[in-house]
Amino acid sequence: MWVSETWVADMITALVSNDYDYLGCNVEVVAEDQPNIWERYEQSFSFPVDTYINNKHFAPTCALAVKRDVFEEVGLFDERLESGGDKEFGQRVHRAGFEQGYAGDVTAYHPARNSWDALRSKALRIGRGRTQKRRYHPELDEPHPLHPINYLPPSPFRLRRRFSGQDLSLPLLVGFYLLEYVLKLTQSYGALREMLAQRRSKREEP
């Protein structure tokens, strides 16, 4: 990732001027001049930081500034989590009553994943992290890896909202919807594998 030379100063200004304790910023996903379908998917679906802040009370680590006293009170990221540590930490901060905010005029730049392998690897990691959160943070009420909700098709209305006002062909929209569903199932597979690995490890304990 990369940011402008003023990124740190801009984030500090936003924290101080708004009296925020925890701040997420805009993320722009950058692709090649002629992006392939994987890159276009990433540009359309990745890093809706304002939605994360408002609805799920966290910002991804790549777009985050936090005051020191927040860490001193709630602790650091949980290093046991392979993925989802930013979400767990952000929600812990929210429960502790700290003020969270979003700086839409401050931007960090993230390269788009440009292959199926890259998207698949991310989805498996997210799935493993979900099961790890279920083990170490049961207060988050993470669904069991076998829960049916993990295998239902995603809402088509989410796709509709993301592409509202964009001139995209129906075949491309259908392709994005199918890709999102396959990635959801891939996450669920990663969660199942992690659950089985945890059970094997527990049986092998002396």
Is residue 153 helix, strand or coil? coil
Q: What pLDDT does residue 202 have?
A: 85
Per-position b or e across 150-162, b if 16+ CB within 10 A of its CB: beeeeeeeebeee
Q: According to the model, what pLDDT value does residue 9 have?
A: 97
Residue 192 identity (one-letter amino acid) = L
The pTM score is 0.89
Those residues of the chain that have pLDDT short of 50 are none
Task: Work out the number of other CB atoms within 10 angstroms of the CB of residue 57.
Answer: 16
Encode pLDDT of 152-196 as tens digits. 998 887 777 766 666 778 788 888 899 999 999 999 999 999 999
Tell me how far apart the alpha carbons of residues 123 and 49 are, in angstroms, rounded to a whole number.
18
pLDDT in the model for residue 63: 94
* Domains in the chain, CATH or no CATH each: 1-112 (3.90.550.10), 115-206 (no CATH)
- How far the first Cα of the chain sits from its last, in Å, is 44
Check: CB of residue 132 under 8 Å from CB of residue 81. yes
Mean pLDDT of the chain: 93
Residue 45 has a pLDDT of 83
Compute the distance between CA of residue 138 and CA of residue 134 in angstroms, rounded to an integer. 5
